[in-house]
Amino acid sequence: MSWTGRALPRLEDPTLLRGRGRYVADLAPGAAHVRFVRSPVARGRILGIEAPEGVRVYTAADLADVGQIRPVLERPDYVAVSQPVLAVDRVCFAGQAVAFVVADDAAAAEDLAERVFLDIEPEDPVVDLDAALRPGAIQTHPEAPGNVLVEGRMRTPGLDAAFAEAAAVIALDLRSRRQSAMPMETRGGVARYDTRDGRTTLHASVQMPHMLRTGLADLLGCPEAELRVIAPDVGGGFGQKMSLFPEYAALVWLARHVKRDVAWIEDRRENFLASAHSRDQAFTVRGAFDATGHLLGLEANLRSNVGAFSCYPVTCGVEPLMAFAELPGPYKVPEYGARSRGVTTNTCTMAPYRGVARPMLTLTMERLMESAARRLGLDPVEIRRRNLIDRFPHRSPTGLVHDEGSYIAAMEAAVAAVDVPAFRLRQAEARAKGRHLGLGLSVFSERTGYGTPAYAARGMAIVPGYEQVECSLDPSGHVELRIGASPHGQGLGTALAQLVADELGVEPGQVQVVSGDTDRTPYGWGTFASRSMVIAGGASRLASAKVAAKLRGVAARMMGATEAEIALEDGFARVRGTNRATPIREVARAAHHRSHLFADLEGGLRQSAFYDPFGTFSNACHVAQVEVDVETGGVRVERFLVVEDAGRLINPMIVDGQIHGGVAQGIANALYEEVVYDPDGNLLTASLADYLPPTIHEIPPIEILHMETISDATLTGAKGVGEGGTIGAPAAVVNAIVDALSPFGIEINEIPATPERIRAAIRSARDSRT
């Protein structure tokens, strides 16, 4: 029986459940602690840094030999900006690291930092996205006039004609407020200098250890071999931990400088102030529809607030350029024109967060479909049916190729499962009693598992995308799988063990997956962008298949059969159609210890493989049912349904877990979470009491149905699934709110749709009627 496809409980869990996980803060006791002194203002000139008497304060002057973080996109419309590890002369956002102090423990370091006086002359900052684009706006960086760091533009020749012949033009102006990925574990690092060999090991809570090592070596001007980066157990990342942050460079520099163990464990306030934000986006679009509801053309003006600097390695292009390339989503858009800008402001730097631009672009397309349906008197499901991609492969106006998916079928399945007519009856009954229920739909595609071509197309100077895996079988018949990907809670180790167990005929528990350590794993890009199951999974299958081939060759000779007759299953090499079998551990031992007998057989029991796929698209339909309290503006999500098509399910339990968590974050994006700055650039939401991640109370039971379109775009048939939940949920929730409030005829143009915003919308609808 195959291990693939089974809801196998995770191999990672017993350790974590017993409290024996090792997160980076668990490695900090005994090390000296670093505390950063951060800018209290959003923008200003550093006049001086006053150290308390007898206290060593490290500033930019100490780090003069350390380079600046300067991510590059090779495109003419990109302006590279440099981020110093510690601020030089100027500060660009509240929370930027200006100096640091070191003490024996974290509390003592914090005491010292309190006594450091930063003499900064404040200047007026630019904080708001659209304010930063106004003529004459304050410039965040002198080298970026107009505050635009990156811009994408295109226009198909027939766009004007599409609008000219449209029966209806729908205009939307949508705003997504800033969000934080907010992993439960903050960032942190422990750097250890080894006096024996002069190497420094950085244990850090990160998603891409190899990339971090490259970035650090470049900044410090040392060979990568002098550094080792280890991601131990990581308490969630969701994209926030995939960039090179200045704090890590400072920590490694310090360890090399003072030649001792040093630690920095971020507190929650620092995490909100200075890690990374996302989703601060404004999309203005117009859709041209014919009388039967077919979308003829789409024109978009997309703005993303990318904050003070550009994140390394993916750059500040990540949100604006993804929005630009993927706005059409699952829909046929014959003519397309878009301008997408990444706008720099005196706020915390934007970096990828689960879903990146797609929650907002899905909200945009789904509001567009709903509005067009209402204008044209069409059923909202029917208008989607007419516009969803239905022939594969499909080439989008921006050149993306959609492989086989189930866009329409997934929607039909979702609509059938929620029983819309029955809901409409309940909705009418509730309305008669003054209660407002609503149902909302969201259909989307999720581009996943893309290799180097996708990143190269963006113009990235550093092109991520492939993965490498090394698979070996030891003499006892146990497997070691060393992967360049860097899972941090997803359960990838278990899923890969299932794949490899099937190739080699062993049990998943006999497969040890090694990840996150640059000394022990092949160079790879890490875990992000719904890629690991697809890419590391594909490479794992390739590498283990090579080991299996050798194993079959040895077994065939041992049993006097041909290689083709050997099956590896249930711990045995069997000769098919006979009762001859040899335990795999005996075959492994023979291959290692009697190798002279098999010297003429090709291959070995240690194999590596490289996989760099073009990419694929998962797809899904989400349905939210909400109740809105029109007096308070409060929204409760009563029911949530997901029909997901992520191709072949390697471990359905893990897939469902990814969807659950993603949907919860998407509901949070729709209703609760907002990073708020005041007009002076002070962060108003720097604690978990002010930023509002949902508790169990806010998240309804999430129902999941699966479809499995097996596309040949990936080796394992699996498509990525990590981000879908976050991508689809906001649109479904917002559409449900608009449906619930349809008696008022209101629009929801801004997320999170907080009680204040909903009340304001209801009030203005009432005012405009009187």
Partner 1 sequence: MTDRLATTLDVNGRSYSVTVEPRKSLADALREDCGLTGTHLGCEHGVCGACTVIVDGKPVRSCLMFAVQAEGLAVRTVEGLAEGDELHPLQRHFWEQHGLQCGFCTPGFLMLVAGAFEADPTIDDAAMMEVLSSNLCRCTGYQNIAKAVSLALKDMRAGR
Among residues 341 and 354, whose Cβ is nearest to partner 1?
354
Stretch near partner 1 under the rule CB under 8 A, chosen from 10-18, 90-98, 393-401, 576-584: 10-18
Stretch near partner 1 under the rule CB under 8 A, chosen from 191-199, 408-416, 421-429, 656-664: 656-664
Among residues 232 and 293, whose Cβ is nearest to partner 1?
232
Phi/psi region, residue 646 (left: phi>0; alpha: psi -120 to 50; beta: rest), is alpha
One-letter identity of residue 89: D
CB 359 within 8 A of CB 279: yes
Instruction: Find the helix or strand (DSSP H, E) in which 84 lies.
Output: none
Dist CA 275 CA 348 (whole Å): 7
By C-alpha distance, which of 382, 287, 376 is closest to 333?
287
Among residues 21 and 475, whose Cβ is nearest to partner 1?
21
Instruction: Find the helix or strand (DSSP H, E) in which 256 lies.
Output: helix 246-258
Site for partner 1 in 578-607 (CB under 8 A): none
Is 764 among the residues that bind partner 1 (CB under 8 A)?
Answer: no
Stretch near partner 1 under the rule CB under 8 A, chosen from 154-162, 180-188, 402-410, 597-605: 180-188
| Mask for 303-342, x = binds partner 1 (CB under 8 A) | ----------------------------------------
Among 5, 26, 398, 563, which residue interacts with partner 1 (rule: CB under 8 A)?
Answer: 26
Among residues 305 and 490, whose Cβ is nearest to partner 1?
490
Least CB distance to partner 1 at residue 638 (A): 15
| DSSP letter (8 states) at residue 17 | H
Is 665 among the residues that bind partner 1 (CB under 8 A)?
Answer: yes
Is 664 among the residues that bind partner 1 (CB under 8 A)?
Answer: yes
**CA neighbours within 13 Å on the CB side: how many for 599?**
3
Other CB atoms within a 10 A radius of the CB of residue 505 amount to 23
Among residues 505 and 724, whose Cβ is nearest to partner 1?
724
CB 621 within 8 A of CB 445: no
Dist CA 535 CA 485 (whole Å): 9
Least CB distance to partner 1 at residue 178 (A): 17
Is 23 among the residues that bind partner 1 (CB under 8 A)?
Answer: yes
Dist CA 402 CA 615 (whole Å): 9
Is 663 among the residues that bind partner 1 (CB under 8 A)?
Answer: yes
DSSP letters, 686-744, are: -STTTS----TTT---EEEEEE----TTSSSSB---SSHHHHHHHHHHHHHHHHHTGGG
Is 183 among the residues that bind partner 1 (CB under 8 A)?
Answer: yes
Dist CA 577 CA 580 (whole Å): 9
Least CB distance to partner 1 at residue 667 (A): 8
Least CB distance to partner 1 at residue 31 (A): 11
As given in the structure block, the two tokens for residue 330 are: 């699952």
Among 380, 405, 553, 661, which residue interacts with partner 1 (rule: CB under 8 A)?
Answer: 661
Is 697 among the residues that bind partner 1 (CB under 8 A)?
Answer: yes
Among residues 33 and 367, whose Cβ is nearest to partner 1?
33
Dist CA 202 CA 519 (whole Å): 11
By C-alpha distance, which of 45, 36, 168, 213 is closest to 114?
36
Other CB atoms within a 10 A radius of the CB of residue 56 amount to 12
Stretch near partner 1 under the rule CB under 8 A, chosen from 17-25, 65-73, 302-310, 505-513: 17-25
In the three-class reduction of DSSP (H, G, I as helix; E, B as strand; rest coil), residue 492 is classed as helix
Among residues 234 and 496, whose Cβ is nearest to partner 1?
234
Site for partner 1 in 226-245 (CB under 8 A): 233-236, 238
* CA dihedral sign of residues 694, 697, 698, 701: positive
Both ends of the chain: CA-CA distance in Å? 69
Among 1, 422, 599, 696, which residue interacts with partner 1 (rule: CB under 8 A)?
Answer: 696
Other CB atoms within a 10 A radius of the CB of residue 302 amount to 26
Task: Give the alpha-carbon dihedral of 142, 144, 148, 150, to 10 degrees.
Answer: -140
| DSSP letter (8 states) at residue 333 | -
Dist CA 290 CA 561 (whole Å): 67
Among residues 662 and 717, whose Cβ is nearest to partner 1?
662
| DSSP letter (8 states) at residue 14 | H
Site for partner 1 in 54-113 (CB under 8 A): 105, 107-108, 111
Site for partner 1 in 205-224 (CB under 8 A): none
Least CB distance to partner 1 at residue 697 (A): 4
Stretch near partner 1 under the rule CB under 8 A, chosen from 289-297, 566-574, 662-670, 747-755: 662-670
CA angle 454/458/459 to nearest 5° reads: 120
| Mask for 102-141, x = binds partner 1 (CB under 8 A) | ---x-xx--x------------------------------
As given in the structure block, the two tokens for residue 699 are: 């998240």
Least CB distance to partner 1 at residue 669 (A): 13
DSSP letters, 168-191, are: EEEEEEEEE--B----SS--EEEE
Among 47, 171, 184, 225, which residue interacts with partner 1 (rule: CB under 8 A)?
Answer: 184
Among residues 315 and 490, whose Cβ is nearest to partner 1?
490
Site for partner 1 in 463-492 (CB under 8 A): 488-491
Among 47, 456, 688, 710, which residue interacts with partner 1 (rule: CB under 8 A)?
Answer: 688
Stretch near partner 1 under the rule CB under 8 A, chosen from 329-337, 344-352, 498-506, 659-667: 659-667
Query: Radius of gyration of the chain from Cα atoms?
Result: 27
Is 14 among the residues that bind partner 1 (CB under 8 A)?
Answer: yes
Binding site for partner 1 (CB under 8 A): 9-10, 12-14, 16-23, 25-26, 29, 105, 107-108, 111, 182-186, 233-236, 238, 267-268, 488-491, 653-654, 656-657, 660-665, 687-689, 693, 695-697, 699, 701-702, 725
